[in-house]
Amino acid sequence: MTISKKFAIILGYVVIALYSFIPQAQASSNVDLSNPAFAAVTGRTSIPIGHSEFCKTRPQECGINANVQEIVPLTQERWEQLLRVNTAANTNIVAVTDEQLYQTVEFWTYPNGYGDCEDFVLAKRRDLINLGWNPSTLLISVVRQVSGDGHAVLMVRTDRGDLILDNMEGLVKLWNQTPYQYIKRQSQTHAGQWVDIADPRPMSTIASL
């Protein structure tokens, strides 16, 4: 095991102590979704080409969410599940580009030991669903890095805010504490549709995170 992988495992479990620092919410029905801890969305937008092709081969994963849950209560157990899933994927999957793996610019699929950022997200989403998480709270999201490069992360909608699972970061953070400009994400009502994210933060603020 490499030093970086050991560090990722240690970091993932040490951060359990940070759970108490995520802003507490009251009952889920009383959560104010206009709070900056939640990413606001506008209308429908285009589906990323990689996800569109993914949905053609796995239509059962891209349909209407029959049981939409707007947010999930973030219990200690669920928090630890997020950490374990994030750390396991970041440790066990080797990050490589689609060009290296498949000789194509964009190809979304479940990783088999190797994958790019979208593949990490798909694996984490699948693993959390298998643990009983509602798919409507686990949203593939497209962001722009400060460098201008595109990237994909998993946005998890909880009563503490929208949390981000990222293959380039060992910590699980609120969306507005990450150094990305948020572009769009999956719709909660339909896994095969996407909506724009309204990210009001100036790039100068994002770059300082």
Task: Give per-residue pLDDT as tens, 89-117.
Answer: 999 999 999 999 999 999 999 999 999 99
What pLDDT, in 10s, does the model give residues 143-168? 999 999 999 999 999 999 999 999 99
What is the pLDDT averaged over residues 165-183? 96
Does 134 or 13 have the greater pLDDT score? Answer: 134
Confidence of residue 8 (pLDDT cuts 50, 70, 90): very low
Confidence of residue 24 (pLDDT cuts 50, 70, 90): low
pTM of the predicted model, to two decimals? 0.88
pLDDT of residue 22: 59
Domain hosting residue 174, numbered range? 3-207
CA distance 156 to 67: 16
Q: Is the confidence at residue 14, as pLDDT, over 50?
A: no
CA distance 169 to 12: 10
- Residues 20-38 as b/e (b if ≥16 CB within 10 A, e otherwise) read eebeebeeeeebeeeeebb
Does 14 or 193 have the greater pLDDT score? Answer: 193
What is the pLDDT averaged over residues 111-135? 97
Q: Which two tokens stand for residue 177?
A: 């504490």
Number of domains in the chain: 1
Burial of 17 (0-12, 13-18, 19+ CB in 10 A): exposed
pLDDT of residue 203: 84
pLDDT of residue 205: 82
Contacts 24+ apart (CB under 8 A), 11-19: 11/87, 11/170, 11/171, 12/83, 12/84, 12/86, 12/87, 12/90, 12/170, 13/83, 13/87, 15/83, 15/170, 15/171, 15/172, 16/79, 16/80, 16/83, 18/171, 19/76, 19/79
| CATH number for position 82 | 3.10.620
Mean pLDDT of the chain: 89
pLDDT of residue 104: 93
pLDDT of residue 94: 97
Does 41 or 1 have the greater pLDDT score? Answer: 41
What is the pLDDT averaged over residues 122-151? 97
pLDDT of residue 23: 54
